[in-house]
Amino acid sequence: MLQKTSHFMREANYIDGEWVPADSGQTIDVNNPATGLKIGTVPKSGKAETARAIEAAERAFHSWKKTSANDRAKLLRKLHDVIMDNQDALAELLVLEQGKPMAEAKGEVGMSAAYVLWFAEEGRRVYGDVVPSPWADRRILVTREPVGVIGAITPWNFPSSMLARKIGPALAAGCTAVAKPASQTPYSGLAWGALCEEAGIPKGVVNIVTGSASEIGDELCTNPLVKKITFTGSTEVGKILLEKSASTVKKVSMELGGNAPFLVFDDADVDRAVEGAIAAKYRNSGQTCVCTNRFFVQDGIHDAFVEKLVARTNQLKVGPGLEEGTQQGPLIDDKAVEKVEELIADARAKGARIAAGGERHALGGTFFQPTVITDATPDMRFMKEEIFGPVSPIFRFAKEEDAVALANDTEFGLACYFYTSDLGRAFRVMEGLKYGLVGVNEGIITTVEAPFGGVKESGLGREGGHQGIEDYLDTKYVCIGGLGL
Ligand code: NAP
């Protein structure tokens, strides 16, 4: 198994085009969540290695920013091709460290390649302006320039594609990068070093450091050579990074936590809503920032929706990600399972009914049964907290405005979904929901062409779409006088 992935499974930092260990020689163990067994180790690096990676990125920036957008696009297209040529091996590596089913892992790797290709093209469309001048003898130009070295910190739930959304636009814009992947899934992050090497990206343009989150994070946030921090992860850590980045007034983009509502109105197509619910809830075992956290279902359709959702949930095949036909893998670790158990216990104590699952799976380890809970009420913890597990809590509602108010009653504002066949309601509800991403009669909406990101405490900035490159660019106003016109 490891044989196939070994070329991409790197156990060293990638700094200035070299594969190097931590200065201390210390390592972190990486485990397979499906078996609990150790897969290998990666360097436990800290401040010094990060500072060297930043210096390498700064040196590389001076030549990388001078390459033409077209030349950068050619290299990024090559990077896309290298990813796609190795999609199966990269997906296998991802399953080993993260646990998701192989089909989802292949989808994620394909998405990584798609982001790289998208930004290869967007980099060629970074236009400036010639502004009508209020002065007869002066002209006004507005140009766009790469911000410089960027620091990227990514989570374990999408260890490949979250880096693609940062490395892709950074390189296309002419920036260089220092990335820190999550310690539980570092191999899919380090693989970007091997991919960049194979694609011929010059050394120092992309650097990857694994190890102590706080030491690496501190150096990235406080080193004045780093001009932008891009982070995907929890709101809690995002707030720490925002504070730290303030010391050097860096640009920041933050893709943080969610608490996605999924509203089903009486006039919805119930079968379509159930299919959307399955996709929006159980993907990656419920461990995505856009996974449904709360279902709000109107009185008239409630029982039919619950009956069908329970039937479909009970059909989901739970197993190791590499096993043929698996639809739901393990959770990432014991802590994740304990959190799910706590939330279910809290709901039970407050009067909820378990309609499907509700327990650890017979497979043991961190496998958990796909679960449906009815009679959910706003005093239950999952009204406010991200579940990050395969649990569907169902709240019942009578009036549209009550459902919208409940959906908005959270400090988060990333993704939301609703199902209706009434056009007027579709617009009313779409405009009423305070979220950055809205799925109307759709449960999976992420695509490279569209801007991804949240409002409120779900984040700042957008990734993907034509907006996704903006944060990697500075705007420069140039006033040219003395033209003697
Ligand atoms: P996390 O605990 O915030 O960790 C994310 C990354 O931050 C990891 O690389 C982690 O390193 C690092 N980190 C932790 N503490 C740090 C510190 N003090 N300074 C610098 N870096 C630090 O989040 P997670 O548990 O991996 O991911 C789940 C969260 O991500 C959920 O809340 C989910 O909603 C959110 N998410 C959001 C999006 C989005 O696009 N909005 C997408 C995916 C996930 P270590 O691994 O070494 O601890």
User: Distance from the CA of 325 to the center of ligand 1, in angstroms?
Assistant: 29
- Find how far residue 428's CA is from the centre of its chain: 29
| Whether the model pTM is above 0.85 | yes
- Sign for the pseudo-dihedral over CA of 356, 358, 362, 365: positive
Which atom of ligand 1 is found nearest the CA of 181? 9
Site to substitute for ligand 1 among 41, 42, 219, 234, most atoms within 8 A of C-beta: 234
Is 245's C-beta closer than 6 angstroms to any atom of ligand 1?
A: no
**Rg of the chain on CA atoms, in Å:** 23
Give me the pLDDT at residue 5, please: 57
Is 255's C-beta closer than 6 angstroms to any atom of ligand 1?
A: yes
Tell me: the pLDDT tens digits for 97-149? Answer: 999 999 999 999 999 999 999 999 999 999 999 999 999 999 999 999 999 99
- Find how far residue 241's CA is from the centre of its chain: 17
CA atoms within 13 A on the CB side of 299: 5
What torsion, rounded to 10 degrees, do the Cα atoms 310, 311, 313, 314 define? 110
d(CA 100, CA 109): 12
Tell me: the pLDDT tens digits for 324-351? Answer: 999 999 999 999 999 999 999 999 999 9
Site to substitute for ligand 1 among 98, 210, 237, most atoms within 8 A of C-beta: 237
Point out the residues of the chain with pLDDT beneath 70. 1-5
Is 237's C-beta closer than 6 angstroms to any atom of ligand 1?
A: yes
Please list the active-site residues.
Answer: 255, 289
